[in-house]
Amino acid sequence: MRKQSHKILMGWPARFSLRNTRPFHLGMWCKTLKAMTLIEVMMALMVLALVFGGVISSMVRAASLTRDAKVIYRETAIVNDLVERMRSMTFKELKDELKTGNAALGIVVTSTGSIYTTEGNVPPQTPSGAGTGLVLAGAYNYKWTRTCSDLDADPLPDPLRIVLNVWPEKLESKKITVVTYISASGLINK
């Protein structure tokens, strides 16, 4: 028959307890405790290093996503500014600017056959047309091109198909492209 003390120790709480039910010697316990403490510290440092690595990598990724969102937002604002500027011109003024450029605004024309490409840039200190201050281009120097074909045709096609491209100067992979149609009677967006 078992002793009463063993029955109590092996009851329901003792089975799921983390407490050691075996007797131990004080000297052996101290040696084990020191070794376990070193292992625990090493494991804690590894976990801490993994956590810090995760935090730093998530901060870098968040900064990259924020930068990309700002670039897309600014490109969209520049495209909108260009389209609104074209809308404010008469059809003849627009056709002339697409063929000859505009030296006062720094718009240069290159032509290949019947395809005319106007190009320009938006430096970081360019004020936006909305009166929001010196924020249209942000930190980058943005380049843009407008491509239109059949400007030499007689009669001139109506509507004109104009392809706009905008990108930061050294980040051509971030280029956005917009196609717009401008008719003699106004703007048609698709």
The tens digit of pLDDT for each residue in 12-58 reads 555 555 555 555 555 555 555 556 678 888 999 999 999 999 999 99
- Kindly report the pTM of this predicted structure: 0.65
Tell me the pLDDT band of 125, cut-offs 50, 70 and 90.
low
CA 46 to chain centre: 32
CA 82, 87, 93, 98 torsion-angle sign = positive
For residue 82, give the nearest of 173, 189, 169 by alpha carbon. 189
Rounded-to-integer distance, Cα 103 and Cα 109, Å? 10
Residue-range domain boundaries for the chain: 60-189
The answer to whether the Cα torsion of 150, 151, 153, 156 is positive or negative is positive
| Distance of alpha carbon 151 from alpha carbon 96, whole angstroms | 9
Distance CA 154, CA 22 (A): 103
Q: What is the mean pLDDT of the chain?
A: 77
Q: Which pLDDT score, from 0 to 100, does residue 62 have?
A: 95
Looking at the chain, the whole-number percentage of residues with pLDDT higher than 70 is 71
Q: Looking at residue 25, what is its pLDDT?
A: 56
